[in-house]
Amino acid sequence: MRPIIGLTHSLQGNEDSVYTPTSYPNAIIEAGGTPIFLPVTSDPELLSQYLDMVDGILFTGGDDIDPQFFGENQIWGCGEVIPKRDECEIRLCRMALERKTPVLGICRGIQLLNVALGGTLYQDLASQKKDSIRHQQQQRSRYGSHPVALSNGSRLAGIYGRNSVMVNSHHHQAVKDAAEALAVTALSPDGVIEGIEMPGHPFFVGVQWHPERQVQNPEDTEHIKLFRAFVDACRPA
Ligand code: MN
């Protein structure tokens, strides 16, 4: 049986259209899972039913997270936010944690996991962390543009089988203060947090890069490992 992975998605237009790049479901399929989309809702009963239906959840990328959810006002560098998506995903993340459902967060997804557990974000790296390297690369997203150092003994280091990996970079926000329950396990050369995980959890991992786009590079053999590890962790016992 292929594990069923629920994917969050973004909204477009007047918040009346569903939007998500196909690279997310494609990576889940390639890794042996069955992807389904979970429409935005804040109804706890619906969210609970979503969790009954899936073996794992992938929190996908997209717009900025509204700083109100980590107790700040928006600064000038903050981009477009969709509070009702944030609210849905924060609730879903907390409910998933109660059930120990495996969770993977990508790009905005790592930020979402962190905020749901009480952490904070840089609203805009360029204005709030001036010594940071370029995190909005110009080359195509199937190519990495900066390395991340993976912590010894971390799940991410185990998955990639090494302590450094080249990753793409398409973000202007990032985890600032990691939530207490989370271990920081990937750092870019300027010290920006690019990977978090919850020790002892079956699979609670967030990455700031877009592995689903790097797997589209036929020469890349590294990043599918993350999806395989996630899908394997979602297999019902
Ligand atoms: Mn980066």
Say yes or no to pLDDT of 237 above 90: no
Residue 27 CA to residue 211 CA, distance in Å, equals: 9
Total-model pTM: 0.98
Average pLDDT of 128-155? 97
CA of 170 relative to ligand 1 center, distance in Å: 7
Q: How far is the CA of 209 from the centre of ligand 1 (A)?
A: 6
- Beta-carbon contacts of 172 under 8 Å, excluding residues fewer than 6 positions away, are 77, 79, 124, 125, 126, 135, 136
**Gap between the Cα atoms of 91 and 41, Å rounded:** 10
Q: Distance between CA 161 and CA 116 in Å, rounded?
A: 29
The answer for residues whose C-beta is within 8 angstroms of residue 237's C-beta and 6 or more apart is: none
The confidence score (pLDDT) of residue 236 equals 80
Residues recognised as catalytic:
107, 210, 212
Per-residue pLDDT, averaged over 120-124, amounts to 98
Q: How far is the CA of 217 from the centre of ligand 1 (A)?
A: 18
Q: Give the three-class secondary structure for 29.
A: helix
The SS3 of residue 49 is: helix
